[in-house]
Structure 1
């Protein structure tokens, strides 16, 4: 294979060099597909029971509230206990929640309230699981491979966003929604195997004095280190300010005929772009200033969303959404690299919790922002304003957080 092609492709060194990371990554990838199948099935089941798009949108609230309330607790637990054991227990609980989803569908309970309750329970357990799981990777890999690991993790996330709904649609049409939930539960088997085979990961350094004090220590670190604050602000440039996901159904109806198949293409285009960006992310690990690169990706995302707001061509819309998905994925790779390199291990669980809250909370609030502005101003105006605002926000972050903009990965201390 030519040298140029080799350097362009995804860096798989973490998979080759670390069997533990390889097992964790493969298991998480399969579980990601299963998780997206449940997301698809829950939304479809709620819509069938209520006939209301508002009821479907309220699922986002059921996800966001437990994240905001409990992620800090999860991050603190990840720094106070053995991370492997914590992730193993919480992943087992997540598999159990998927079984409960299947049971209610099989029993024909027809209760939207029960679905909201199960979604909230799933989110609560995930709020404890995700920060600890993210904090495992730096224990398994050398620092020079953290950017490659971030790209590999982004690949599983984006591939799951494409494959999960496609598999769920096929399973639901063939065997019903119960099959989607059961397949999600079964997908946890690979994840649990990968987690169980991890080495022990006891806390390093002094344990936090208490959960609230521990969370305060993490927030103090974010305030004192401009590169961390900048990384989280960069994430919000996309998730909160510019994401057009909530406007895609209206865009499809107003400009492209409103067919479900067309909406499916629009919804999947961003994830396809993310998969392609991850697959060609080899150079990401060699970027000297990942913070500045993240902000450029944020600006590029905003520009593509602004262009999407004025296009009337379906082909152009699909291309722009794919480019936006690619920019989003690379921005995540870059700012995640800064966060991992800048955070001492004894605080990684709590800082990962902050990152998780920003990502999930920002995404849900961004959907609310987009939907509200779309209803008030119109789809195109709301989308154009969000895109241009993201470009402006990226420029403001570059000025307000110079430590992030000019952060050099090669100069990061061995233990921040």
Structure 2
């Protein structure tokens, strides 16, 4: 079986990457607009929380991801995700946008992402036309370039674009890149891989499964052959809790130490490090030992978090973010490859939806908590006269 990536994959990958960049620019632009308008880090936490919450709330309704064609599910998720920025853009043009509108728009986008993310993950084998582990490792590593490129370009574009052209510019960019991705998805044929009763994965745990497309069958498989994946899902949830806290805190810290013009630099260079890690990931043996490589990468992420918090210097914060974010591209690619090869193909939609739900279930808590801690606990405590002014405050 060939391990090359076909033209259909490259078309979907390129346009989805472009759309992710547009969405990242939009999301960061909205966050910068809100923070500059309110001066309150709690609003950053609220926006992140309401965007992440739908991944938990919508999951029980996503069993149909395995009952419809992969392309149809992907189109539906994309259409739902664009409703938030499109509505916000119209309100800006009408001169009626208020802060709470952006919170509602973030929630609407979160609903779309809750559908689009597992739909795209489940569609990877159909876009490739095969389930060869080496091919999947290459494809999953490349798909990490989308978020990474978004992190590189998003802050670099969003902050100055909002400062110069206003919020409408970043929202319009999001809508236009969505339209490009939608056109490519409609034009690209997807392979007709098994999705009903005889789908099997390619890993040692996959086996042959009689699947009626229900949650009952998928959960029963996870309780038996897929028990190790459940443990991994819980671990991912804890990691994402910490990263949600980290992401909100870093944006606030970057704005404080670098100002609006330079606030995007740490995250942008962190994304550049993710791009490099995504390109190098296939060389690390993801197809052969994804868990071991992911575990080692998480250790580097923890080191980066400590480094970013060590000094109120834009240089130190930037280096810490680079060390923290680069390994996450390897972690995400390795885990996606593991799930593609271990989970029966007919269950990919439901299991990837469950993976997104558990993996992001603690995101809203981490994001909301980060905003409160930064604004009401850590900041005052380290300020002159605060409880930590003589210790952490000196840093």
Return the match for 2:162 from 157, 172, 175: 172
The TM-score with structure 2 as length reference comes to 0.80
Cα distance in 2, alignment partners of residues 287 and 17 from structure 1:
16
The corresponding residue for 1:355 is: 355
Change (3 A) 1:171 1:368: closer
CA–CA distance in 1 between the matches of 2:172 and 2:85? 7
Corresponding residue for residue 320 of structure 1: 320
Deviates more, 1:270-279 or 1:84-93: 84-93
- The structure-2 alpha-carbon separation of the partners of 1:237 and 1:102, relative to structure 1 and needing over 3 Å to count, comes to same
Q: CA RMSD in A?
A: 3.0
Relative to structure 1, the CA distance from residue 223 to residue 366 in structure 2 (aligned partners, 3 Å threshold; closer, same or farther) is farther
Partners in 2 of 1:171 and 1:304 — Cα distance? 29
Does 2:12 align with 1:24? yes
- In the aligned structure 2, how far is the partner of 1:208 from the partner of 1:311? 54
Is 1:232–2:237 an aligned residue pair? no
Cα distance in 1, alignment partners of residues 318 and 71 from structure 2: 41
What is the alpha-carbon distance in structure 1 between the residues aligned to residue 261 and residue 169 of structure 2? 22
**Structure 1 contact 79–203 (Cα < 8 Å) conserved:** no
Q: Residues 286, 99 of structure 1: CA spacing in aligned structure 2 closer, same or farther, 3 A cutoff?
A: closer
Conservation of the 8 A alpha-carbon contact between 1:101 and 1:181 = yes
Q: Deviations over 1:329-361 (max 9, x none)?
A: 111111221111111111100111122223433
Moved more, 132-141 or 41-50: 41-50
Distance 1:131 1:307 in 2: 33
Greater mean deviation of Cα atoms: 42-51 or 301-310: 42-51
Alpha-carbon spacing, 1:18–1:156, altered in 2? closer, same or farther (3 Å) = same
Match in the other structure for 2:135: 145
Q: Deviations over 1:309-334 (max 9, x none)?
A: 43566534422321111112111111
Q: Deviations over 1:14-46 (max 9, x none)?
A: 7x6311111110110110111012212322444
Say if 2:242 is the partner of 1:245: no
Q: CA separation of 1:37/1:286 partners in 2, compared to 1, >3 Å: closer, same or farther?
A: closer
2:17–2:146: 8 Å Cα contact kept in structure 1?
A: yes
Residue 40 (structure 2) aligns with:
52
Q: Are 1:131 and 2:118 matched, yes or no?
A: yes
The equivalent residue for 2:93 is: 106
- Greater helix proportion: 1
For residue 294 of structure 1, give the secondary structure of its aligned residue in structure 2.
helix
Looking at structure 2, the residues matched to 267 and 316 of structure 1 have their Cα atoms a distance apart, in angstroms, of 12
Displacement after TM superposition at 1:98 (Å): 3.1
**What's the counterpart of residue 411 of structure 1?**
none
CA contact (8 A) 1:161 1:268 kept: yes
| Structure 1 residue 237 displacement after superposition | 4.6
Structure 1 segments unaligned to the other structure (5+ residues): 1-12, 383-416
Q: Is the CA contact 1:148–1:284 (under 8 Å) kept in the aligned structure 2? A: no
What are the equivalent positions in structure 2 for 1:190-269 lying under 5 Å apart?
Answer: 190-196=180-186, 197-199=188-190, 201=192, 204-206=195-197, 214-224=214-224, 225-241=226-242, 244-248=246-250, 251=253, 257=257, 259-269=259-269
Shift, 1:283, TM fit: 0.8
* Residues 71, 354 of structure 1: 8 Å contact kept: yes
Q: What's the CA shift string for 1:359-386, capped at 9, x where partnerless?
A: 433433333454556655668x99xxxx
CA contact (8 A) 1:82 1:200 kept: no
For residues 42 and 132 of structure 1, what CA distance do their matches in structure 2 show?
Answer: 26
What is residue 387 of structure 1 aligned with on the other side?
Answer: none
CA distance in 1: counterparts of 2:241 and 2:318, whole angstroms? 22
1:369–1:292 distance in 2 versus 1, CA, 3 Å = farther
**In the alignment, what sits opposite 1:35?**
23
Judged with a 3 Å threshold, the aligned counterparts in structure 2 of structure 1 residues 190 and 373 are, in CA distance, closer, same or farther, namely same
- CA gap of 1:320–1:90, structure 2 versus 1, over 3 A, is closer
Q: Structure 2: state its 5+ residue gaps.
A: 198-209, 389-395
Contact 1:252 1:262 in 2 (8 A): yes
